[in-house]
Amino acid sequence: MDDYVLPGSSYGYFITGTAFVADSNGNLFTSSWGWTSQQGVEHWIVREYPVGTTTWTTVDDFVGPGGAEYPSAMAANAAGNVFVGGWETESNGDHWLIRRK
């Protein structure tokens, strides 16, 4: 289905998708988090499988100030917009809710 390694890393993981949605055009999206040992941070990743193609592409690779982002839910509206919600944690223990479009 999809074999993905974070760019710029010879060692990385894309954890099994945490959410999955189709937009009104039939494009498929999955979100999850991944990390690299080289960067030592976790990435918020959203991948898309556009209709009529044969490969997944990364449409969002986000690292916030805390360096540990976790998407946990996805939704799409009738206009074809995809929304991803999740949270971030920082080394001081603060947690933040984040939404990406």
pLDDT in tens, 66-77: 767 888 899 999
Sheet holding 69-76, edge to edge: 69-76, 82-89, 95-100
- Return left, alpha or beta for 75; rule: phi > 0 is left, psi -120 to 50 is alpha, else beta: beta
Tell whether 62 is covered by a domain: yes
Domain total of the chain: 1
Tell whether 89 is covered by a domain: yes
- Return left, alpha or beta for 93; rule: phi > 0 is left, psi -120 to 50 is alpha, else beta: left
Q: Which tens digits make up the pLDDT trace of 29-47?
A: 988 887 766 556 778 889 9
**What DSSP designation does 25 have?**
T
pTM of the model: 0.79
Tell whether 4 is covered by a domain: no
Contact status, residue 19 vs residue 46, Cβ threshold 8 Å: no
Whole domain around residue 92: which residue ranges? 12-100
Tell whether 47 is covered by a domain: yes
